[in-house]
Structure 1
């Protein structure tokens, strides 16, 4: 079994169970090698970020019942794909994150100091 660590090299904390998030829908932003989009960053969703994400082609707010996806609402936590986070960061639109719930694979895409600058749980 693979050890689940966050970007601080500590045990990975859950992101959200309501709504149930994560690539494996287990509440954690664990990102194994088969998760090519690297759903590893636990974000705090805001209305502004959800609007930006939809405009950028990653609609997180519209429910998709056939995939048991309720849609993300402002104020909820969600495991966002790492590439989407980096794109939002580059556009100056990245949301705040829960760093203790952000998987260490994010460090393949962005440096720790940048992630810390978005953290609301340091």
Structure 2
């Protein structure tokens, strides 16, 4: 399995060439966010999106316990496993594609998790300014 910490370019979506693969917020090819647990709207490890992703799961985050508690208090329990959906539940340190609007809300409330810019899809910039993302950039 791929490690979430390894800089790995995302595999182009079916029907796409490497030249038109999704870009990150830095304008570079989108890297894999996390594979253990497998994240992304398409459950391919990438925070790429399409029109079917109404929540815009485009922000690659290094999940914190503070964010997990916050998310649960907002009605989105990400810690509890849901075997019926193949969801193991998240823990602090996991890399996960978070909804852009939820991340911005968490940022405004002072609890946003760190962001992996290289694995955050460029359409995130329609919701979150790059400067905010840079301020929250994960530093390994």
With normalisation by structure 1, the TM-score equals 0.95
Write the distance in 2 (CA, Å) between the matches of 1:34 and 1:8.
Answer: 24
State the shift of 1:33 in Å. Answer: 2.0
Structure with bigger gyration radius = 2
Aligned positions of 1:39-118 closer than 5 A: 39-118=57-136
Q: Report the RMSD for the aligned CA atoms in angstroms.
A: 1.3
Q: Which runs of 5+ in 2 are unaligned?
A: 1-15
Aligned to 2:54: 36
User: How many residue pairs end up in the alignment?
Assistant: 122
Partner secondary structure for residue 4 of structure 1: coil
Q: RCO higher in 1 or 2 (8 Å CA, sep ≥ 6)?
A: 1
Write the distance in 2 (CA, Å) between the matches of 1:58 and 1:24.
Answer: 19
Kept in 2, the 8 Å contact 1:7–1:99? The answer is yes
With normalisation by structure 2, the TM-score equals 0.83
State the shift of 1:102 in Å. Answer: 0.3
Alpha-carbon displacement from aligned partner over 1:41-95 (angstroms, at most 9, x marks no partner): 0101111111111111111111111100001111111001111111111111111
Write the distance in 1 (CA, Å) between the matches of 2:93 and 2:22.
Answer: 25
